[in-house]
Amino acid sequence: MITLIKREFHGERNLYSGSMKQHSIKHAVKRSSKRAEIWIVEDNAFFNKCLVELINSETDLVCRQSFHSCEDTLQQMESGRYPSVILLDIGLPGMSGLEGIQKFKQIAPTTQIIIITVREDSDSIFQAICAGAAGYLLKESPGEKIIEAIRDVQKGGSPINAHIARKVLTAFAALNTPSPDYELTDREREILLQMINGLTKKEIGEKLSLSHHTIDTHVRKIYERLHVNKRSSAVALALKQRIF
């Protein structure tokens, strides 16, 4: 669905395919009374509208506020209302998304920010993560991936690729500041590092010459020590707490 929005940037307006409608129909069930508030900050009106409708088609999410600039978003936040998650275009006119991240986090530290970008520009994404963003998405991402990323950051996850993760780790290591002691064994640290590098359990096992069962046991122990229950949360915590 969202991949069709790429045409918008080439001047085509006929973007509404059946996939958006099917996504909405699939979720036409009783909605939760405690839907997480999601805000959109995107200057492209069509893409903004598509994101709003995508989010509002979910039973556990709602978008009641969408904006075309960081300035308008800040004005609303200053009234005391904060969302759970903000989807933020990094390339906005006026105040940039990068500058907006810092200001949003100053006002609402618990609000999670996912940047959305047309290109996978590692430098810009890296700057955004360092400024406080929880992760990023490409604008061509399927609707399902966008929803998955929103739910992921709500649980402490961080939707970023292995290259960006390593870049963040390297930058944090250069600061030479102490990190919390989670009492990870050398083997657990080795496996966690490979998880950050984007390897699957099977690939980690092959790289370290360990069985799938052994890797699975170590991964469960890593989750237990870090007090998380999924891979993305473990990776996000390792990055935020500068474990390496």
What's the CATH class of domain 2-159? alpha beta
Q: DSSP string covering 141-199, please? A: --HHHHHHHHHHHHTT-----HHHHHHHHHHHHHHT---------HHHHHHHHHHHTT-
Structure tokens at 83: 């969302």
User: What is the structure's pLDDT at 23?
Assistant: 47
Helix 122-131 with 162-175: angle, nearest 10 deg = 50
Q: How far apart are CA 143 and CA 11, in angstroms?
A: 21
Region of poorest pLDDT, from 9-23, 169-183, 230-244: 9-23
Q: What are the pLDDT digits (tens) for 31-51?
A: 556 889 999 999 999 999 999
Q: What percent of the chain has pLDDT above 90?
A: 43
Maximal C-alpha separation, the chain:
56
Distance of CA 132 to the CA centre of its chain: 11
Enter the tokens of residue 24. 């909405």
For residue range 104-136, list pLDDT tens digits in order: 998 998 899 999 988 877 778 888 887 888 888
**74 close to 104: Cβ distance less than 8 angstroms:** yes
| Residues linked to residue 66 through DSSP beta bridges, in sequence order | 40
Q: What is the mean predicted confidence (pLDDT) over 3-25?
A: 40
Structural fold of domain 165-240: Arc Repressor Mutant, subunit A (1.10.10)
> Which range is most confident: 54-68, 107-121, 229-243?
54-68
- State the pLDDT confidence band at 18, using cuts at 50, 70 and 90: very low
Instruction: For the chain, give every domain's residue range.
Output: 2-159, 165-240
**Predicted pLDDT of residue 171:** 66
Three-state DSSP at 221 gives: helix
